[in-house]
Each structure stands twice: as structure tokens, then as C-alpha cells.
Amino acid sequence: MTRNIYIVCEKCDKGFDFPATPEQMHALDDSSKSIQDIFPELSSGERELFISGMCGECFDKVFEAFEEWSEA
């Protein structure tokens, strides 16, 4: 039986639902597992929510601004 994991982006407050199996839910508690191994079906932007708390769009905006700043 799958359950949904609901994550809200810390930057834009947009919410996202992800279906997860009991095995995936258990694996999230195991710090030795990478999010790519737990949720290979998610895009890198979707997985970013689990890693940094930011959606892929916000993550890209933050690092785009950082790159512009570092190149100046």
C-alpha cells in the first residue's frame, strides 16, 4: 500500500505530493541510502525537495543568482 509524502518548498511555499511504498518510507530513515536510490522514478528537481527543502525551480533560481554573483 502506498502513502503520500507531502513536502512544501521552503522558498515558494508550493506543496508537492509523492507516492511512497512502505519500503521507500523505511529507507528514508536510513541515512546511508541516497534519495536517488530510494526514488529513482523522481526527477532531480523533485528529489531536491527531499535533499534541500527547495523545489527544483527555486533551487535553480538560487544557484543561478549565486553563479551570477561569483562571476562578477
Cβ-based neighbour number of residue 35 at 10 Å: 17
Q: Where are the beta strands (DSSP E) in 1-72?
A: 3-8, 15-20
- As beta bridge partners, residue 4 has 19
pLDDT the model gives residue 2: 87
Q: What is the mean pLDDT of the chain?
A: 91
Query: Across residues 20-25, what is the average pLDDT?
Result: 94
3-state secondary structure of 4: strand
Could you give the CA distance from residue 53 to residue 36 in angstroms, rounded to a whole number? 15
Does the pLDDT value for residue 70 go beyond 90?
no
pLDDT the model gives residue 72: 61
Does the pLDDT value for residue 16 go beyond 70?
yes
pTM score, whole prediction: 0.79
